[in-house]
Amino acid sequence: FPQCLPGEELYSGVATDLMGRDFTIFRSLGRRPSIRTEQHDSRWLNEPKFVAVFWVPESEDPDDDKIYFFFRETAVERQQGLGKTSFARIGQICRNDVGGQRSLVNKWTTFLKARLICAVPGPDGADTHFD
């Protein structure tokens, strides 16, 4: 499983159950609380296949650091006539995220994801999907 270890914290994209159905982006170890993506919610992650994880320092302040996850997942967007489609994605979390309150206790509050598309500019430009 893809992982990175900035400082004493382990960031990983992994299935957390024996059946391989509960996928999560997880932080463990270190001094901050363990934290994960929402469980059993396809809007967060939908059958992902994690490829890589990278730690990217944004400034001299470590609280600005980001962790990026590259993965493929079954698209939840409706694609007319395509059936079950897999998209290449990038996910981002802030390293200083400590989770939220109430329903977001021990869950990421800074998680964002987007589809990877390379657009060629100009009148004859095209979108290239990394699927």
Residue 122 has pLDDT above 80, yes or no: no
Instruction: Considering only residues 63 and 131, tell me which one the structure prediction assigns the higher pLDDT.
Output: 63
Half-sphere exposure at residue 121, Cβ-oriented, CA atoms within 13 angstroms: 0
Contact between residue 117 and residue 47 where contact means Cβ atoms under 8 Å apart: no
Residue 52 has pLDDT above 80, yes or no: yes
DSSP, collapsed to helix, strand or coil, labels residue 35 as strand
Amino acid at 29: L
Q: Residue 20: its pLDDT value, please?
A: 78
